[in-house]
Structure 1
Amino acid sequence: MRGVAFIVAVTVVAEVGDFHRFDNPRQLMAYLGLTPSEHSTGASVRRGGITKAGSGLARRALIKGAWSYRMQARVSRKLHDRIEGLPKSVRDIAWKGQVRMCRRYRHLVLPGR
């Protein structure tokens, strides 16, 4: 993944520990404080910024890695060297994920979110 190099990966693994303790990705995101806060009263539901619970170090590393998706999807020379020995099916999945993340970022930014 673009933006997730050795330091980011080691930081997240060291801070989270055992990933098997989470049943689904939503639980992991809640643990890291990457879920939106919510203020609800009756039928009214208002969502706010991220909750910032859990490990600030892991959250900061992931957010800095996510900033690389602001740019257009591409494979840099450094990333090309990292994925060179991987099977084509793995590289195709990674490329599809990169395109999806870049498109998602643009979708969120366009309306001024």
Structure 2
Amino acid sequence: MKDTIKYVGLDVSKEKIAVAIAEEGREEPRYYGLIPHTTEAIKKLLKKLGEPSALRVCYEAGPTGYPLYRLLLSLGVHCDVIAPSLIPKRPGERIKTDRRDSIRLAHLYRAGELTSIYVPTPEDEALRDLVRAREDAKEDELRLNIA
């Protein structure tokens, strides 16, 4: 029997991840719950959800960066990092909770309404950090010369 695709929306914070799942079809996404933001907890969740090839996972780009993306890819799970500014919003939708955000992500992801971003390679990130450090050093040098 072929596994059905599960669309998983993650609302990621530094210490926890809210998880929601939307199965293929028209059923409402269901809230799975909160898990700790640890490698062990993520692996345990994926094991419960089923075959990695049948999972499609997404989360919003943010301050937590890309380690979660790289972990999921290394485990054979398809993952998209979503541009928060391009997530469709309903008028009057102001209340934001981890639960609501994860359910909304799963729902919109299944519907194909989310825009993913380019995830830089570790080498790209290292180069970007180097360029930023150089720019900061130049600004510091300029400030010292003016003073």
TM-score normalised according to structure 2 size: 0.25
Kindly indicate which of the two structures has a greater share of residues assigned to helix. Answer: 1
Kindly indicate which of the two structures has a greater share of residues assigned to strand. Answer: 2
TM-score normalised according to structure 1 size: 0.29
* Structure showing greater Rg: 2
